[in-house]
Amino acid sequence: MIRFRYFFKYLLLGILALTIAISQPCMILAEQVSKQAQQRQAEVLNHKGQRQLDLGQTAEAFETWQQATKLYEHLKDTEGITGTLINQNVALQAMGLHLRACKIVVKALKFDTEICATSLLEPANSTKRLLDAEINKLNPIPVHLLGLQNLGNVLRQLGKLSQSELVLRKTLSIAQQLDNFDISAILLSLNNTGKSLYQQARDKYSWIEEPVFQKETFNFIQKQALKLLNDYQSLINIPTAPTAIRLQAQLQRLSLLLDFQKWLMAESNSGNTQLAGIQTQINQQIQPSVNNILENAPAFSELPASQSIYSKLNFANSLNQISDEQLHSVALQYAESALQMAKSTKNQRLMSNAFGTLGKLEKQHERSLYYLEQAMALAQSIQALDIAYEWQHELGLEYYKQGKYDKALKAYSAAINNLTQVRDNLLASNADLQFSFYEKVEPVYREYMRLLLSSPNPNLELVIQTNEQLQIAELENFLKCGKLDVVALNKLQSLPNTTAIIHIIDLGDRIEVIAQSSNHYIVRNSVDAKSIRTHVNNLLDILQSPKLFSLNKSLIISSYQKLYSSLIAPLKTHIPSSGTIVFALDTSFQSLPMGLLHDGKNYLIKQYSVAETLGSKIRSPKSLSKNQFTALIAGLSKESPSFNDKNAPKGLKPLSGVVVEVADVKKETTSSTVLLNENFTSLEFQKELTKNDFPIVHISTHGQFSSNSDKTVFLAYDKAINILEFDSLLKSKVQSHENAIELLVLSACQTAKGNKRSTLGIAGVAAQAGAQSVIASLWLVDEGSTAMLMQEFYKELKNGLTKAEALRQAQLSLSSNSKYTHPYFWAGFVLVGGWL
């Protein structure tokens, strides 16, 4: 909003107009006044909205600008309409309503509203092409540049970073061609988007374990951080830049310095010696950066009230990350000053943020509790659940430190409830949470489960429910989507009495195993995590080895025996002696086929059919009826252009055996359609799904499941189809439950090497496809054995067996063949979702 006084002639008001605003704030009806008076009244309202926003009265400012827009519409003043719509967008951004803000600014610029879609399922490149074309049509006048800058800002808030960067770079390019145009605000926005790209990479680096992607991300973090530090400094050094812009750049640069320092230190502590020089360079810049801001302290008072408050809180949070008692005192002073300003605005959201920040800064427990309780009460009073959950989480931590367990449990429970209510909107429209999910969201759930289990008589149902909520939140964050249509396993009606559900939950120092029987009897086994993690990591190394087929299977059996004896054996008497076991697995176990668990005599699948749910919630399971064996069968047996796609797995070889597999599956299904090689293009695949009803979709082609949605792909002939595009291929398919895919088979895919979260991609594929069940391979299995297994699976399925039992029988049949006894050939196939 800093720029409005420069851009809009209708903000330069005389004393008379201001007098009218104070004495007559209501909109004057058009038919009662002259056109000139209406124009003046619109300007008055515009100015009034600006003052309201400066005072933190965001809702009032939004309503005032709505009135101004209506007047400009009556006057047919195009520039006035555009300007007040942009103002409305700024007010909505200040309220955290980023999607609505995006739609408003897009309307102001007369752009396509698809630009704001929050699902991120439209490929970024197509959205960027659309944006590029729309911007090229704009008249390069100041009001349009302001609109573009705000569009870039709100796209950043929605997590659409490549689109934000495109818009802001185009805006800068246009602005640089105009005479005497101050580009500092655009540069600040562009740098802030760059910082979000850095934060996105930091978040990915914290959980990605795929060596190639990890190295790419490692290099990007260094390069991006150093570039941004220089870019922010260049902006600070522009002598004509407004004081407020320079202050914002200083604050952003300091927070980046501290975050980069933290990352460098973590890398250094993990044994990376390459970064010592950069670390020294960054450490030397922190204190001078703080001093520059302190010397520029009067600039805080030059900002509008709401901006001043948030800037002071930003600075206080940065100072709190520096181990210096004197600076901690300064941090408290800035937070207290922000609180006094917030009280003067009477804006409860601002007051809540100020109280909450003080609560985190304050070292005296009673004062910290007081501040956090005030912050929470204020957030709840205005239904600001997006910040209420944060203060409830902080309160839970503080209560726990003081031994107030009941209060801690209530605070965590409230935080979880609030997160559940707003999670879909937050994860789709809050870039900060998208890019720090594992730092800011996941710990709330895991700490609550740990607290629940510390009770002598823990509520195990509540632990299971909390774990379900976490796993679904993780999947929704992966897909960048709203709430998924799933049900809790323990809410399913009439589970067979031969079905057991086993939840395996990793809480850091402990692995919790909770078993549920069909009569809802629940029993728990708690195991020290250290020894378990050794066996899990050993198995991951073995199963993801390119030489798996040649390794002695006794290596696999040995580690699986140890897992079985620690995790499952203590619960054996509470599990049916045969039937189905449904595993709800935590991250560290999701890339292990649980059918290989070994009791010393046999694999688990000798006794049980096995299914997995990556989150202990699924789409309500259904069995396939006899008339549901129509299939779409797609396969790729030879090298194609998609092998060279940047997101395709490296080192691929043609799958000549796919031809046999496709023929066998066609033989076992009815009225099936085959797309093989050149006929299996992304367009043909979409056409077939759209025009026909296929309960079964069988895809035999190279693919990869990854915890990085960009890298979760399967190869059509022409291109790699990424999971975020998969939904657009299936939109018409999943609109009707009648036409939902009952079974999706991906028989030649593999999980990304070295990444425990890779099978999150399988759950993502299932969710995007709207599929009841997905069968997928965790590693690239031998083509001949895959064809045999799939033929046997479909035979058993036609004979009326459940999907889980049909897969079990096919695996047992293959493993009994002397040529294919090694688990490499049969154990890599997992059933995810409905097992009936």
Q: What is the mean pLDDT of residues 91-105?
A: 89
Above 60 in pLDDT, residue 296? yes
- Residue 30 confidence (pLDDT) above 50: no
> pLDDT tens digit string along 43-85?
999 999 999 998 888 889 999 999 999 999 989 999 999 999 9
∠ at Cα 149 (148, 153), nearest 5°? 115
Burial letters for 371-392: b for 16+ Cβ neighbours within 10 Å, e otherwise?
Answer: bbbbbbebbbeeebbbbbbbbb
Rounded CA-CA distance 596/606 in Å is 10
**pLDDT confidence tier of residue 569, bands split at 50, 70 and 90:** very high
Q: Is the distance from CB of 547 to CB of 571 less than 8 angstroms?
A: no
Rounded-to-integer distance, Cα 577 and Cα 371, Å: 55
Query: Comparing 169-173, 594-598, 646-650, 789-793, which segment has the lowest mean pLDDT?
Result: 646-650
Question: Could you tell me which residue, 544 or 525, shows the higher pLDDT?
Answer: 525
Give per-residue pLDDT as tens, 437-450. Answer: 777 889 999 999 99
Q: How many helices and strands in the chain, by DSSP H and E?
A: 32, 17
At residue 625 the predicted structure's pLDDT band, cuts being 50, 70 and 90, is low
How are beta strands 829-833 and 720-722 bridged, if at all?
Answer: unpaired
Q: pLDDT tier at 474 (50, 70, 90 boundaries)? A: confident
Tens-place pLDDT, residues 213-250: 788 889 999 999 999 999 999 999 999 999 899 999 99
Residue 686 has pLDDT above 80, yes or no: yes
User: Residue 7: what pLDDT?
Assistant: 37
Query: Strands of 522-528's sheet, edge to edge?
Result: 522-528, 510-516, 499-506, 579-585, 608-613, 829-833, 773-777, 743-746, 696-700, 630-635, 670-676
Dihedral sign, CA of 320, 323, 327, 328? positive
Helix%, strand%, coil% for the chain, nearest 5: 65, 10, 25
Tell me which amino acid residue 467 is.
N
How many angstroms separate the CA atoms of 585 and 594, rounded? 10
User: Is pLDDT above 60 for 372?
Assistant: yes
Question: What is the average per-residue pLDDT within 783-809?
Answer: 93
Strands 630-635 and 773-777: unpaired
Question: What is the pTM for the complete model shown?
Answer: 0.84
Residue 109 reports pLDDT greater than 60: yes
What is the predicted pLDDT for the residue at 458? 95
Q: What is the pLDDT of residue 29?
A: 46
- Concatenated DSSP letters of 165-200: HHHHHHHHHHHTTSTT---HHHHHHHHHHHHHHHHH
Average pLDDT over residues 501-512: 94
Whether residue 625 contacts residue 651, with contact meaning beta carbons closer than 8 Å, is answered with no
Q: Give Rg (Cα) of the chain.
A: 29
- Whole-angstrom Cα distance, residue 223 to residue 210? 20
- DSSP states along 461-524: HHHHHHHHHHHHHHHHHHHT-S----EEGGG-SS--TTEEEEEEEE-SSEEEEEEE-TT--EEE
CA atoms within 13 Å, Cβ hemisphere of 835: 28
Return the minimum-mean-pLDDT range out of 336-340, 678-682, 736-740: 736-740
Closest of 200, 106, 199, 202 to residue 154, by C-alpha = 106
Residues 6+ apart with CB under 8 A from 554: none
**Average of pLDDT values for 711-728?**
83
Beta-carbon neighbour count of residue 755 at 10 Å? 26
Q: Give the Cβ contact number of residue 736 at 10 Å.
A: 10
Mean pLDDT of all residues in the chain? 86
Backbone angles phi, psi at 64, to 5 degrees: -60, -45
Residue with tokens 């009791």: 599
Average of per-residue pLDDT across 160-182:
92
Does residue 497 register a pLDDT over 80? no
pLDDT of the residue at 694: 87
Per-residue confidence at 832, pLDDT binned at 50, 70, 90? confident
Distance CA 79, CA 109 (A): 11
The answer on pLDDT for 468 being more than 80 is yes
Fill in the amino acid letter for 76.
K
Q: Which residue has the tokens 């190295």?
A: 215
- Tell which phi-psi region holds residue 745, choosing left (phi > 0), alpha (psi between -120 and 50) or beta: beta
Q: What local confidence, expressed as pLDDT, does residue 488 receive? A: 53
Task: Give the per-residue pLDDT at 620.
Answer: 55
Share of the chain above pLDDT 70, in %: 86
pLDDT band at 545 (very low <50, low <70, confident <90, very high): confident
At residue 491, the pLDDT reads 54
**pLDDT tops 70 at residue 552:** yes
Residue 578: what pLDDT? 92
pLDDT, mean of residues 181-200: 95
Find the mean pLDDT for residues 88-111.
91
| Strand partners of residue 715 | 720
Tell me which DSSP letter residue 678 carries. G
**Structure-block tokens of residue 372:** 């956090």
pLDDT greater than 50 at residue 560 = yes
pLDDT, position 619: 54
pLDDT of 618 higher than 70: no
Tell me the DSSP string of 698-756. Answer: EEES-EEE-SSGGG-EEE-SSSEEEHHHHHHHHHHHHSSGGG--SEEEETTEEEPTT-T
Residue 14 pLDDT: 34
Cα within 13 Å of Cα(671), Cβ side: 9
Residue 330 has pLDDT above 50, yes or no: yes
- How many C-beta atoms surround the C-beta of residue 491 within 10 A? 11
Q: Is the pLDDT of residue 208 over 70?
A: yes
pLDDT at 1 over 90: no
pLDDT value at 480 more than 80: no
| pLDDT tier at 647, thresholds 50, 70, 90 | confident
Q: Percentage of residues in the chain with pLDDT exceeding 90?
A: 57
Q: Output phi, psi for 669, to 5 deg.
A: -115, 175
Q: Are 167 and 154 in contact (CB under 8 A)?
A: no
pLDDT exceeds 70 at position 510? yes
